[in-house]
Chains A and B, each alone.
Chain A
Amino acid sequence: MRPDDLAIDNCLKCSLCNTVCPVLAADARYPGPKRLGPELERLRREGISTDTEWVEYCLGCHRCDLICPNQVNVSEMIARAKATHRKPLIRGLRDWWFARPCLLGKLTTILPALSNFALAMKPARIFMSKMMQITPQRKFPKYTRPNLRSPAMTKTARQRVVFFPGCFIRYNRPELGRGVINLLERNGFSVEVASSECCGVPALANGDAAVARSMARANVRAMAAQVDSGLRIVTACSSCGHMLKTAFGGILEDDKKFAGAAKKLASNTFDLAELLMEQADAGELNTNFQHTNLRLAYHAPCHQKSQGIGRPWYHLLRMIPGVTVEDMDAGCCGMSGTYGFKQEKYAISMEIGEQLFASIRAAQPQMVATECATCQMQIEHGTGFKAIHPAEIMLRAYEGNRIQINRGTPR
């Protein structure tokens, strides 16, 4: 994050960022990205204190950055202000944990059954609500013993890649990770699993720039040799992909030792669907799909849109015979990782999601496909429709397994 960044001079105050901000649309009191970003940034650079609690309400969805005709890094300015914002003690403690999902993952998965039991217990939820300001309205994702390992080399593989699983797949859904590996192997890749840390998105989102930076460094260290030897990094979580591709949100840009390697890592990071689409374009996608009768709604996560790769999953899913897909294109789901778990932000999170919920309800799909784990939670919570990663749908189409269409538990 560069304090001498001149992008601020590109801001013409056209207010287009305000027209796409999901938070502003949900709550009129929110000052909006134009004000919290470039406008207050001018004062912050002069050392004038403009601290406001509202910076915490930025989702980090990057929609403001994408609409800006002049490429002003609006959300990065807000993220920087978030990092210097002082929170009340309890919220600060809570966010300390939220910034460290890998630590949380490591601890809860020592005894996953006990953790899941405790996290679901009513008294525990009341305690968390009162003492940690975590909303009792939501369920925590289940934790599983982390057992995602690099598979044996496949001899017939045309290309070797490194899979960056991220915290959710590592600690909550390792079977999804194995599914991703399976998909890649079926398409001519051999896979090694990165010995990586958290990508750092939760740390940035919770205003902990120092932790984000140390995670970014650890990740660069963990994968630099593989990148140098010509391997590409694959992500299946859109937020991890976003973070790696933006060279960790630019937080290492002034780091002499790591900036170059972070950039190289960024240019060698690909979303799973990007790789599969590349195979499809080369006529090498494994299309041994079983006929799969499924009517899907697709939701593109914000951090998928912010990667600027088009809609590869939307097109890939449509290649499966029997599958129909409708792109919801109804904005942000409002969850934004840990945001929706915060007691004071629960209501606004649900209000933001309402547009998407309404579109899904209108479409009445059998299931929703979306890459982001927390988007899935929000969709299931807000609509009762089951939401899964598109990779799971593709995998079942290869295996010919029927996909369970049980509705989730609506709120």
Chain B
Amino acid sequence: MESDRYDVVVVGEGIAGFTAAAAAAHRKLRVALVATGPGSIVNGLGWLKAQDIPRASSAPDLGEAIAFFCEMARRAGCPYAGDISTAKYLPSLMGDFQSVALAPHLLWNAEPRDGVATVIIGVRGLSGFDENFMAERLSEQTRAMNSSGTYAARQISLARDMGAPVTALRIAQLFDRDADFRKELVCALRIAASGFQRIFVPGMLGVDSSAEQITEFSQELGCPVCEISTLPPSIPGLRVFHRMESYLRQIGVELYRGFPVEKLEIDDGVCTGARVAAPGHAMNLRGDSVVLAAGSHSASLLGEAYAGRDHEMRPLNSTGTVMARNLFIAGTLPNSAGDNGNAVRILTGCRAGNLAASTRKNHAA
């Protein structure tokens, strides 16, 4: 086994890259994941909008890919809830409802509910979260939907010095590290929530916390709790990122973080690896197959000839020839302007990971 030789090299650490790396690693292959920073998941809510779910006719393998992703998320300790065939309305920070098919479990139970009194609890000094604004907007919209759910706003103060302004990141880091802080938070929230049947809080319940830890917290509260994502970096998104990254590490994926891939080595229709711009001298990660899942900005790695991908995820040049038969493009396409959402990222990540896995020689042994 050579240290820089992998069965599969995955470029990009967003949802697509994670899914591709996991798909290959689950087949007991030696996988490297190279990335400069997380994908867009940390800016968003990590959910799958209903409108972004591709039609079954164009993606017969979607169900399988989503099931794979959900299993990966569950094992990583950040389970998802929902299904591609369902859709429900979940609130955003701006107090409007979006139609969502799947979401991290803490976001999932926030749909309008008849007869349920929900309290939105803000934190004094927390920047970028306005519980009054949210309560007013959600009440208005729920009425328009003819639902009899109600929303009220409350605010809690935290006893300790949280810095100014208070950030969701700060609260989340304390939540992870400090059992006393979690107790304080439970006490404060419990008082503010008395008389209500459901609590919405800003996304702040830990950057690394697992589903069990949050369930335990919720049980102590004695009332179901849902998170509302705040401004980027969104804590629920960051949590999915952290949990998935450590899960991949745990199943043996080698992570190369911090330096961009400066070149994909393509020779005679075969991609032999990725050259990483580490300080001093570049690092060559060789792979039997390579998955490029680094988003729209990665176009320069394929050069001007790149014109799209074929149905087996391989890059094509302007004459329609496959540029490299063991290179697979996942996630948002290089050079594309649009964002096609997390469902497509999962679908293409899973496909690319599986295709890459089936074209390799095994280096794990």
- Please give the residue numbers on chain A whose beta carbons come within 8 Å of chain B beta carbons, in ascending order: 14-16, 18-19, 25, 28-30, 65-71, 242, 244-246, 266-270, 277, 280-281, 305-312, 315, 327, 329, 354-355
Contact = CB atoms under 8 A, between A and B. Distances in A.
B207 A310 contact: no
Contacts of A277: 3
Given A28-B161, A307-B279, A18 B3 contact: no
B343 interface: no
Given A18-B167, A69-B36, 8 more contacts: A14-B43, A19-B169, A25-B177, A281-B5, A308-B256, A308-B278, A309-B283, A355-B177
A245 B280 contact: yes
A19 B238 contact: yes
Interface of B: 2-5, 36-38, 42-43, 161-163, 167, 169-170, 173, 177, 207, 232-233, 238, 246, 249, 254, 256-260, 276, 278-281, 283
B36 A281 contact: no
Given A19-B207, A25-B173, A65 B280 contact: no
B38 A69 contact: yes
A16 B37 contact: yes
A308 to B, nearest CB: 3
A305 B43 CA distance: 25
Contacts of B169: 15, 18-19
Contacts, number: 98
A327 to B, nearest CB: 8
A308 B277 CA distance: 8
Contacts of B36: 66, 68-69, 71
A28 B258 contact: no
A29 B38 contact: no
Contacts of B37: 16, 67-70
A281 B163 contact: no
A18 B5 CA distance: 33
B44 to A, nearest CB: 12
Contacts of A66: 36, 257-259
A308 B167 CA distance: 31
Given A29-B163, A66-B257, A312-B3, A16 B38 contact: yes
30 contacts: A14-B43, A15-B169, A16-B37, A16-B38, A16-B42, A18-B169, A25-B177, A29-B161, A29-B163, A65-B258, A67-B38, A69-B37, A69-B38, A242-B279, A246-B280, A266-B279, A267-B281, A268-B281, A270-B281, A277-B3, A281-B3, A305-B257, A306-B279, A308-B276, A308-B283, A310-B4, A310-B254, A311-B254, A312-B3, A315-B3
Nearest to A68: B37
Contacts of B161: 28-29
A242 B161 CA distance: 36
A156 B283 CA distance: 29
Contacts of B232: 14-15
Task: Give me the 3 closest cross-chain CB pairs, A-B, nearest first.
Answer: A308-B278, A28-B163, A66-B258
Contact of A310 (B38, B238, B256, B260): B256
A245 to B, nearest CB: 3
Nearest to A312: B3
Contacts of A311: 254
Nearest to A281: B2
Nearest to B276: A308
Nearest to B35: A69
Contact of B280 (A68, A266, A312): A266
B257 to A, nearest CB: 6
Nearest to A271: B280
B233 A19 contact: yes
Nearest to A263: B280
Given A14-B232, A15-B169, A16-B37, A329 B249 contact: yes
Nearest to A354: B177
A298 to B, nearest CB: 13
Contacts of A19: 42, 169, 207, 233, 238
B254 A269 contact: no
B283 A310 contact: yes
B4 A246 contact: no
A220 B293 CA distance: 40
A15 B283 contact: no
Contact of A71 (B42, B249, B260, B283): B260
Which of A28, A269, A312 gathers the greatest number of chain B CB atoms within 10 Å? A28
A15 B128 CA distance: 14
Contacts of B279: 242, 245-246, 266, 306-308
Which of A16, A242, A280, A315 gathers the greatest number of chain B CB atoms within 10 Å? A16
Contacts of A28: 161-163, 170
Contacts of B38: 16, 67, 69
A340 B238 CA distance: 30
Contact of B3 (A30, A269, A305, A310): A310
A309 B278 contact: yes
Contacts of B167: 18
A266 B173 CA distance: 37
Nearest to A282: B2
A155 B27 CA distance: 47
A354 B283 CA distance: 32
